[in-house]
Amino acid sequence: MSTDVTTTSQAPAPPGGEKTGTGMLQVMLNGLRRNMRQYGMLIALGLIVVLFEVWTGGDLLLPRNVSNLVLQNSYILILAIGMMLVIIAGHIDLSVGSLTAFVGATAAVLTVDHHMAWQLAVLLCLLVGAAAGAVQGCLIAYCGIPSFIVTLAGMLLFRGLTEILLKGQTLGPFPDGLQKAGNGFLPEVGPTTNYHNITLLLGLVIIASVVWQEVRDRRRQQEFSLDVLPARLFALKLVALVAAVLAVTLLLASYKGAPIVLILLGVLVVGYGYVMRNTVFGRHIYAIGGNLPAAKLSGVKDQRVTFQVFLNMGVLAALAGLVVAARLNAASPKAGVNYELEAIASSFIGGASMSGGVGTVLGAIIGGLVLGVLNNGMNLLSVGTDWQQVIKGLALLAAVGFDVWNKRRSGS
């Protein structure tokens, strides 16, 4: 009898010890599952980079190739930011590739044929993009025409206008100042070292900003009793982010430094990320995409928000058109082909939902980088364009399939 009592009194000890180890692991796994939409593609991007780094024998992460990767995908990433907002609002834009080509053609005609100062030409081109986005936004928001139809018409219209403007020929070269926007790098200053000093300084500033923002967001979530990542998982996330930024900084600093277009992208990501997270306009975009009837009942002016979203998309398409034209140093009637599909794919791969109301600006960048690394890695491996299209199609299908599975699993 006494033996039984002794056994009973000692029995709770082992479970308590097991709970400390397995319980923490379970909490971390649960946190990862809750944030799978947010971190899934980021993990996938890391795995893709590692795989292609091994398969290419280290060529993928050579400093020169990393710079080329940024330059080659800069305009797609700019378009992806705007497209993410459009998709979150529950719409689609098929015209951005053709509008990109049209703006590049406009810039070429103004600077090459009419010898206009490139700064003034850039301003006029952005206004052209804004006007195109405003017209399409008005037709969609106030006339009630589906965005698919309006932007499909825009795709045909702007492609035709590009052919007319360029008369079917390539036009260039652009002024030196405009060329640097697409191909230039930050100047070197300070003492002579093995690295680009300004790029190193920018990298350190970005690391400090990332850590501060993550800690600030975590504390704010805790103040409102919201779910946060477990401390160990949060620390692991910070280490991974710092390591990634530091690695990219060192790679760029060991070549020519940060490309100018990368600085432009950074400003866009920070600015649009802030708008979508912290402003009324950003919350209204999520609201009309997530539940339009409820948004209307809550007083959201959905027509105005939709109009502004397409106006913004037009401006970003114009900016992308200037960047790609400057990079190619010429305007071509065939520029921008399939750019709209790349931007849409980047958004969906980056976590956007087909039904709207879900997505982040950073997710669009991650999705664009996934496609960019796939393209670059397969080119290094001399994979044919036919198989590249197959692989990218499967990646898009897998991303959308994951979105559907995640919704069914969560019961939403």
Q: HEC states along the chain?
A: CHHHHHHHHHCCHHHHHHHHHHHHHHHHHHHHHHCHHHHHHHHHHHHHHHHHHHHCCCCCCCHHHHHHHHHHHHHHHHHHHHHHHHHHCCCCCCCHHHHHHHHHHHHHHHHHHCCCCHHHHHHHHHHHHHHHHHHHHHHHHCCCCCHHHHHHHHHHHHHHHHHHHHCCCCECCCCHHHHHHHHCECCCCCCCCCCCHHHHHHHHHHHHHHHHHHHHHHHHHHHCCCCCCCHHHHHHHHHHHHHHHHHHHHHHHCCCCCEHHHHHHHHHHHHHHHHHHHCHHHHHHHHHHHCHHHHHHCCCCHHHHHHHHHHHHHHHHHHHHHHHHHHHCCECCCCCCCHHHHHHHHHHHCCCCCCCCCCCHHHHHHHHHHHHHHHHHHHHCCCCHHHHHHHHHHHHHHHHHHHHHHHHHHCC
Nearest to 366 by CA among 224, 249, 265: 265
- 343/360 Cα distance (integer angstroms): 14
Nearest to 179 by CA among 71, 296, 29: 71
- 250/231 Cα distance (integer angstroms): 28
pTM to 2 decimal places = 0.88
Q: pLDDT by residue for the chain (412 residues), tens digit each?
A: 444 444 444 444 444 444 445 555 565 555 555 556 566 778 888 888 999 999 999 999 999 999 999 999 999 999 999 999 999 999 999 999 999 999 999 999 999 999 999 999 999 999 999 999 999 999 999 999 999 999 999 999 999 999 999 998 999 899 888 888 888 898 888 777 788 899 999 999 999 988 998 898 888 888 888 777 788 888 888 898 899 889 999 999 999 899 999 999 999 999 999 999 889 999 999 999 999 999 999 999 999 999 999 999 999 999 999 999 999 999 999 999 999 999 999 999 888 888 889 889 988 999 999 999 999 999 999 988 888 888 888 887 877 777 667 667 665 5
So what's the pLDDT on residue 13? 44
* Cβ neighbours of residue 160 closer than 8 Å, sequence gap 6 or more: none
Task: Return the number of other C-beta atoms located less than 10 Å from residue 292's C-beta.
Answer: 17
